[in-house]
Amino acid sequence: MRSIRKRLQTNIRNRLVGGTLVVVPLVATILLLKFVFVTLDGFLGPILARAIGFRIPGMGLVVMFVALYLLGTFTANVLGKRIFAFGERILTAVPLVRGIYSSSKLLMESMTSNRTSQFSRVVILEYPRRGLYTLAFVTNEEVRRLEDGDRLTAVFLPTTPNPTSGFMLLVPESDLTATPFTVEEGVKLVVSGGLIAPPENRIPAPRTSSG
């Protein structure tokens, strides 16, 4: 009975946290777009009304879409990417803003499969010492073949709560434990700091590194 209640509580907690992680970036985006729309409509509406003699309702929405399109076009070229990267460095220099911005960005990219498409699978690695394990994302299945027949695999180790500040390791494939988790599940697990844990029956037994 206690085991059933514990599983039920864990399931409810995971669903609530998972829903929150999905809703927060979406709500933040909607609020931001609403703010931009109201600001542009309030600023440009009177100007256009004086210029053409009548007011066009919702002009702020049109201007906002045009601005987003131009912004996307600008950030697609080399100069735009450099300016955008500079702005990101400024944002990530502020501790509180860094955590919110990086986590929201990673979640949004995982939902649109832009950033996480670089990850082929989720694995478990014994790191940073024997007896401790961490979640990692495979970025390159075979960087180099070893003399013993094993292969070096490139994995990305994200950090919590700012997953984008992780680092890359080259690990023998034999030291990696495959998981049934999707990349999105892995991202949610990392961003939530372990609050969204997978069901107990899905956790594989991690391999112990040699040496």
Question: What is the arithmetic mean of pLDDT over 107-113?
Answer: 56
Note whether 48 and 60 are same-domain residues. Answer: yes
Residue 122 scores a pLDDT above 70: yes
- Decide if pLDDT at 110 tops 60: no
Supply the range of the domain harboring residue 136: 116-194
- 123 and 82, same structural domain? no
Where does a domain end: 55, 89, 112?
Answer: 112
What does the pLDDT average to over 102-107? 63
Q: Are residues 79 and 129 in the same domain?
A: no
Residue 192: both structure tokens together? 């939530």
pLDDT band at 176 (very low <50, low <70, confident <90, very high): very high
Does residue 123 contact residue 143 with C-beta atoms inside 8 Å?
no
Q: What is the pLDDT of residue 76?
A: 80
SS3 203: coil
Residue 97's pLDDT is 65
Token code pair at residue 111: 């939902």
Same domain, 98 and 125: no
The pLDDT of residue 186 is: 83
pTM for this predicted structure: 0.49
At residue 155 the predicted structure's pLDDT band, cuts being 50, 70 and 90, is: very high
Q: What is the arithmetic mean of pLDDT over 206-210?
A: 63
**Within a domain: 13:** yes
Q: In terms of domains, do 89 and 19 share one?
A: yes
Does the CA dihedral 112-117-118-119 come out positive or negative? positive
Residue in the block written with tokens 């009304």: 49
